[in-house]
Structure 1
Amino acid sequence: MRRRTRYLLMLALALSCQWSGTPERPMLGAVPDLTATPVPLDPGNPNHLKVGALTFMGGVRLTSKDLAFGGYSSMTIDRGLFTLLSDGGTIVRFRLDDRFHLSAPGFGDLPVGPGTGWTKADRDSESMTLDPATGRVWVGYERVNQIWRYSRGLTLPATMVAPKPMADWSENGGAESLVRLHDGRFLVIAETNRRLPSQARSALIFDRDPVEKPLEGFEFGYLPPEGYDPSDATELPDGRVLVLNRKLALPFTWSAVLTLIDPRHIRPGVTIRGREIARLAPPLTVDNFEGLAITRENGATMLWMVSDDNLLILQQTLLMKFRLDL
């Protein structure tokens, strides 16, 4: 999540509490309140469904009366169960049917992580990836530049590592993208940390689970579209990786670009640039997209994107579904 919006949130919390100390981390209530309202891709043209290699299949705006709802930076979908993880460590789960009707909502919180969990800095979880075979989940944390592995459902026991190659990544631009590849390797892309003097973002390939073998792998660079920052990535069925890149333009306009990279072409020290396959910008329905996930339906690849509203009234939590045709 961008720093300027975080500062606005912290200021708002401080003013509302009449307290000048560090803001307490927003926590979801015990009773889940969640509503899904359909949204179009193009409010001015309902027949506009194609954007590059994407075909719009539907979308919803997620809302809740719970004031801690929002800020979702990563997402997994496992056998129809959606799990959204915020950059404050809160968890939202639910199911959607073919008509985007929501059911079985559930709220939760990461059981352990960096720090005590009292402040937002203790749970700055920005990325997440799942092994569907074991149910284990890996979470990338900014600020501390750590990777934590949780048991099925983001439960205990949990194990962590602070990979040496990530030690000097900036605390506000760390592991925004984390992908477990089908061959057992892991890919990590930093949000803003750069391989100077270029604009390429710092990136890593771990040969296996970084929690177990953090020193086995290599560094490379990912060059996003000009003006954009990578915010998430996911592996396609053919082994290629889709990278989500997003940009905030003044006064307050978001856009997103999806690029395609092939891990087979990544070598130590190289810089790779993805191939653009779609660009979403106003007047399309777009916000601060930060989470990606893939599902398969009747042989087709479906791409899901979720937006991080930064807990701001000016933004929305959007969940959009596209068919991917490459």
Structure 2
Amino acid sequence: MRRRTRYSLMLVLALLCQWSGTPERPMLGRVPDLTATPVLLDPADPKHVKVGALTFIGGVDLTSRDLAFGGYSSMTIDHGLFTLLSDGGTIVRFRIDERFRLSARAFGDLPVGPGNGWRKEERDSESMTRDPSSGQVWVGYEGYNQIWRYSPGLTLPAQMVAPRPMADWSVNGGAESMVRLHDGRFLVIAETNRRLPSQARSALIFDRDPIERPLKGFEFGYLPPEGYDPSDATELPDGRVLILNRRLDLPFRWSVVLTLIDPRHIRPGVTIRGREIARLAPPLTVDNFEGLAITRENGATMVWMVSDDNLLILQRTLLMKFRLDL
């Protein structure tokens, strides 16, 4: 009886040691369950494909029976391989052909990051950018206001830095957008952290890899369209930066605006406003778009956007493809 009691106490202690007071963050299973269902840009008019400087090529609604699927806030595309990173540190990879059929599906998880990874807040990965030459990947974390650099494929070893200019960025409004420019500089834009008293968002230019030189660079402001928050950015072949801005009007009425800025015009302390090139709003197919990337096809620039469904049944994980005509 005493031995049984001792074993029971040991089991209770073991469980208590594993319990942190908050539930474990959702984790994807080992079997990559993923389905793509085609969607139209305008459900009422299949011929409606032109929106500003964008021409709709196609899109899909990504679904999975895995309860941890969703929440994708950033995306990279490497020779046709898509990598979606959620705001909970989960990874989805796949290839998609010209008929929007999926292949090479794979699920994964960030190997390390802020905290021990038990809570979702410790893997609040909101932005991602990649060096096409080395394959290294940088991830921006909200809350901790850190930037982590991972080895190719988001693997170990990894290094991190907490840049001093980002120290006071708000818990839920930090490094939502991050771009490695072709000249080696890095551009980071906060989602909601403002350069008061204006509505311009706090933004940074690092003159090199922030992991190596976190203090080398300067601050400036990005002014998004009124009522919108910047959610991601990517560099175009000509060196300009395309910024994705999104807005929520209740109940669950999302809209997005794409703007262009030229890094050559950015100087320390200035506020720069993007030039609007496209606006998507209902009744068009639109959701909480937070991930942005480009590809090149036969000399044309293709813009890809993915939406963050916040793991809610009322939202969708949409992957949309457009041709950019400037």
Counterpart-to-counterpart distance in 1, 2:20 and 2:206: 42
DSSP-derived class of the 1:257 partner:
strand
Task: Render the CA deviation track for 1:14-42: whole Å, top value 9, x for unaligned.
Answer: xxxxx994232000001100000100000
Which residue does 1:124 correspond to in 2? 124
Which residue does 2:80 correspond to in 1? 80
Q: CA deviation at 1:156?
A: 0.2
Matched, 1:56 2:56: yes
Which residue does 2:3 correspond to in 1? none
- Amino acid across the alignment from 1:295: T
DSSP-derived class of the 1:210 partner:
coil
- Amino acid across the alignment from 2:115: G
Counterpart-to-counterpart distance in 1, 2:135 and 2:117: 24
Which residue does 2:97 correspond to in 1? 97
Which residue does 2:248 correspond to in 1? 248
Which residue does 1:107 correspond to in 2? 107
Which residue does 1:225 correspond to in 2? 225
Task: Render the CA deviation track for 1:193-249: whole Å, top value 9, x for unaligned.
Answer: 000000000000000000000000000000000000000000000000000000000
Q: CA deviation at 1:287?
A: 0.1
Matched, 1:276 2:276: yes
- Amino acid across the alignment from 1:287: D
DSSP-derived class of the 1:121 partner:
helix
Counterpart-to-counterpart distance in 2, 1:23 and 1:302: 40
Matched, 1:186 2:186: yes
- Amino acid across the alignment from 1:48: H
Counterpart-to-counterpart distance in 1, 2:23 and 2:288: 23
DSSP-derived class of the 1:301 partner:
strand
Counterpart-to-counterpart distance in 1, 2:224 and 2:268: 18
Counterpart-to-counterpart distance in 2, 1:148 and 1:211: 8
Counterpart-to-counterpart distance in 2, 1:311 and 1:170: 23
Counterpart-to-counterpart distance in 2, 1:251 and 1:216: 43
Which residue does 2:133 correspond to in 1? 133
Task: Render the CA deviation track for 1:19-69: whole Å, top value 9, x for unaligned.
Answer: 994232000001100000100000000000000000000000000000000
Q: How does 1:1-326 map to 2 (within 5 A)?
A: 21-326=21-326
TM-score, structure 1 as length reference: 0.94
Aligned-residue Cα RMSD (Å) equals 1.0
Q: CA deviation at 1:250?
A: 1.1
Counterpart-to-counterpart distance in 2, 1:175 and 1:108: 22
DSSP-derived class of the 2:60 partner:
strand
- Amino acid across the alignment from 2:61: R
- Amino acid across the alignment from 1:231: S
Task: Render the CA deviation track for 1:115-148: whole Å, top value 9, x for unaligned.
Answer: 0000001100000000011100000000000000
Q: Which runs of 4+ in 1 moved over 6 A?
A: none
- Amino acid across the alignment from 1:139: V
- Amino acid across the alignment from 1:259: T
- Amino acid across the alignment from 2:78: D
Counterpart-to-counterpart distance in 2, 1:275 and 1:121: 34
Counterpart-to-counterpart distance in 2, 1:143 and 1:20: 19
DSSP-derived class of the 1:99 partner:
coil
Task: Render the CA deviation track for 1:272-316: whole Å, top value 9, x for unaligned.
Answer: 000000000000000000000010000000000000000000000
Counterpart-to-counterpart distance in 2, 1:219 and 1:66: 41
Residue segments in structure 1 that go unaligned for 5+ positions in a row = 1-18
Question: Highest Rg: 1 or 2?
Answer: 2
Counterpart-to-counterpart distance in 2, 1:187 and 1:33: 34
Counterpart-to-counterpart distance in 1, 2:314 and 2:65: 16
DSSP-derived class of the 2:24 partner:
coil
